[in-house]
Amino acid sequence: MAKTKAFVFINTDAGIEKLLHEEIKKLQGVKEVYPLYGEYDLMAIVEEDTDKDVAKIISWELRKIKGIRSTNTMVVAK
């Protein structure tokens, strides 16, 4: 069975991108984190067994990190 993969574009408070980058990398299911220029500050790739598991990580862990202002999630079509 194919895993569910999502690209999460993240807006952060100014000046703490590197700090958040390290914190996000430690979350279960987060495979990679990249700094970005432009509309978003960071992008995380989340991969888990099910859509529900991916949603749980994004909604209940990643979005609760202090300093994250907003996210925009793109789930890869299966």
Q: What is the CATH number of the domain that holds 15?
A: 3.30.70.920
Q: What is the pLDDT of residue 1?
A: 74
Domain range enclosing 30: 4-75
The domain total for the chain is 1
**CB–CB of 53/4 below 8 Å?**
yes
Question: How many whole angstroms separate alpha carbon 37 and alpha carbon 29?
Answer: 24
- The values of phi and psi at residue 40, to 5°, are -115, 155
Q: What is the pLDDT of residue 44?
A: 98
For residue 38, how far is the Cα from the chain centroid? 17
**CB–CB of 42/65 below 8 Å?**
no
Q: What is the pLDDT of residue 41?
A: 98
pLDDT in tens, the chain (78 residues): 789 999 999 999 999 999 999 999 999 999 999 999 999 999 999 999 999 999 999 999 999 999 999 999 999 998
